Chains A and B, each alone.
Chain A
């Protein structure tokens, strides 16, 4: 037997309406009914599910914040008890940080990556489905605790000893601990999928200096997740052992409570970058389309994305400046926190230069992308301020920090995401969002956001601590708090307009052509919405902007989109080399299967048994998991029914 026995020279073909589309449609189509829905491993389906689910959690987290703002709109309000307030601000943080900000970006990247990269799916389609189902299970798990009044209540960063059993005896913290470990599984398998897809599933010719910046952002975030998520999963697991089994790791008498903060922020700070870098990537790809020119400084932006993340692993202690650490440690981490502004600023200058040198077409998506630059600068400057240890001592645990983190997270995550929704909605659904309603949507959100969050800086400087459920009259905070509450409701109204726009446009929006914005990248080279197989033939890429080549002339060759490798012996796509994107193997992709959903169900049952200490239930979950894994990994007999296997 020779090594080449199972090799094949892939056939090239020209795309016509009758070939190979209908044949590929049959091969790639998801089956009908509930079974098909549960079994689907199509990255576009999974991506859309991620986005919709993340938006549901965004709305829940938003409602929680509005209730809190009503409580804080004036002094001595009694709408909420202190206990209820604790659960609300904790669930608000958990929902926004863990159940919205990261999953929504996973949703965009899941939908877009194979389209951006010229592939037919992600590297591990079943893992992709697993990632979604486990995310859904973790979200429901955390909210199940909240609904029965046992939600996490020690803040999203859950410091011990508040979170230790002695001070927090209920099951609340256990729900949080186990829920986050479950979510960590979802994040980890999703991250591995992005890393391998980036390395091996790019179209031929797409060397790493030709990939869209969004893929750089998500790749960087994914590598960071692989390295950082174990830290928080471990911290929560150790906390659970401490609380329920009498271990002593975070115990002040014999362990070390501060270890919690280290483990949490060694994860937490890289995570902050993981939930903004892909969103920055969306701006880097979307903004140039509306500026009618390529992004200024592709290479510096790509490199600074990676550099920001690398430095991001060395700044966690700036969350701990007031814990009494030695001066040398404060100096080091303060220095690192100031240096990180350099790679962060590269993107800001690149976007500004792109607008400056381009001929901007003002659309709703453009407004969201461009306003993000402003919000990023405000959030960045307040970040530099708190990155300096002496200033931080004054400002820590005040509303200044609340203002900072909302400028960063809403500014660099929510604004790009809503902008991205306007930009890619035609690709998701085949219809355009209304631009008229879009303007109202943008200005309401933009004004509401700044009205709601900018005055928080002042409240913080005036000394209002964060996480208080009420305050007395005569502190000088009353009017400002009322303004903040009005701003929050205006912002919420803006989000409401977005949802109305989505609902109306889904039914009545203008039908979208393949490339409604005349954009340069590969996702716009296929139908809106794309067929299940994405591309009838695998495209060959000769530049960064395959659809703008006739104008830019930036490469010697031309990308080839309507003729290319056919790969139709079952679900197949092309594997290429990690750096240059040279064809190197034919990948046989798995078909639809319920195994990922069953495995997620097993994990959910396992994790439901644990806080209740119902070990029979946990055991049952384990058995379901084992069964799903056997179903998943059972070796497939393939190549039995090939129509035209050409052995070379």
Chain B
């Protein structure tokens, strides 16, 4: 009987995009982090349901800062996506511009979040609502910081010209993580800012 050996054509070396192992690694990271936020929000809803109306010290949280800030974070995702397109197409200026814009918008989000925290009338030690509000938004801000650090690293390396055109895999991996950080914010935002208007 015939032995089976390789007869195919050329294979990509350290492939880019979805064919790479790094991409799958980032998806694993995103899966486990998504679970982390699911457990965080579970804790919030679990205590909210057990405690019932009157638990939250702010039954109608203001959207004045959080609303526009959400749009800023989404815009940051769009900028990152546009910059990633530059990396794929070998357009270095577009790549640097898009990634830099994403960093800038992400940083603005972070600063507005600090003001949002300061504007709250309750502290984490006042009760379980405060504890969970600051823990969950704090976890998200920590992820924004990590995402920004990663964006700054790949943008810096792009400036230095350390990525050959085909070696933009780290850019795609960081950008998808950034999209994830933004998507998580939508869940956090819906939980703390939108749901209370529906719940009580």
Contact = CB atoms under 8 A, between A and B. Distances in A.
Interface of A: 1, 3-10, 12, 123-124, 127, 188, 191-192, 195-196, 199-201, 204-205, 226-231, 233-234, 238, 241-242, 245-249, 251, 254-256, 259, 262-263, 266, 540-542, 556-560, 563-565, 574-575, 582-588, 630, 633-635, 637-639, 648
B25 A192 contact: yes
Interface in B1-35: 1-6, 8-15, 19-21, 24-25, 28-29, 31-33, 35
A587 B11 CA distance: 10
Contacts of A247: 124-125, 128, 131, 135
Interface string B31-61: 1110110011011001100110000000000
A259 B165 contact: no
* Main SS at interface, chain A: mixed
Contacts of A586: 11-14
A642 to B, nearest CB: 10
Contacts, number: 186
A635 B162 contact: yes
B170 interface: yes
Nearest to B124: A247
13 contacts: A1-B90, A6-B12, A9-B10, A10-B6, A123-B21, A192-B29, A256-B51, A259-B46, A540-B6, A560-B4, A575-B15, A584-B19, A637-B162
B120 interface: no
B6 A204 contact: yes
Contacts of A246: 124-125
Given A205-B4, A564-B5, 14 more contacts: A9-B10, A192-B29, A229-B32, A230-B36, A248-B128, A255-B131, A542-B4, A564-B6, A587-B21, A588-B13, A633-B153, A634-B162, A635-B157, A635-B162
B193 interface: no
Contacts of A5: 166
B127 interface: yes
Contact of B127 (A245, A254, A565): A254
B132 interface: yes
A508 B20 CA distance: 45
B167 interface: yes
Given A123-B25, A259-B46, A587-B21, A638 B14 contact: yes
A231 B6 contact: no
Nearest to B24: A196
A9 B6 CA distance: 10
Contact of A585 (B12, B25, B39): B12
B43 A249 contact: yes
Contact of A256 (B14, B20, B40, B128): B128
Contacts of B12: 3-4, 6-7, 584-586
B163 interface: yes
A231 B39 contact: yes
Contacts of B51: 254, 256
Contacts of A227: 31-32, 35
B10 A635 contact: no
A248 B31 contact: no
A66 B128 CA distance: 42
B24 A195 contact: yes
Nearest first, the 9 closest Cβ-Cβ pairs linking A and B are A648-B10, A192-B28, A230-B36, A255-B128, A247-B131, A7-B10, A246-B125, A585-B15, A635-B162
Contacts of B128: 247-249, 251, 254-256
Most buried by A among B5, B6, B14, B128: B6
Interface string B122-161: 0011111011100100000000000000000100010000
Contact of A255 (B4, B47, B162): B47
A557 B2 contact: yes
A259 B131 CA distance: 14
A557 B135 contact: no
Contacts of B170: 633, 635
Nearest to A223: B31
B6 A245 contact: no
Contacts of A4: 10, 12
B21 A124 contact: yes
B4 A540 contact: yes
Nearest to A630: B153
Contacts of A242: 131
A241 B163 CA distance: 42
A204 B157 CA distance: 35
A6 B39 CA distance: 43
Given A6-B166, A557-B3, A575 B28 contact: no
Most buried by A among B11, B15, B46, B126: B11
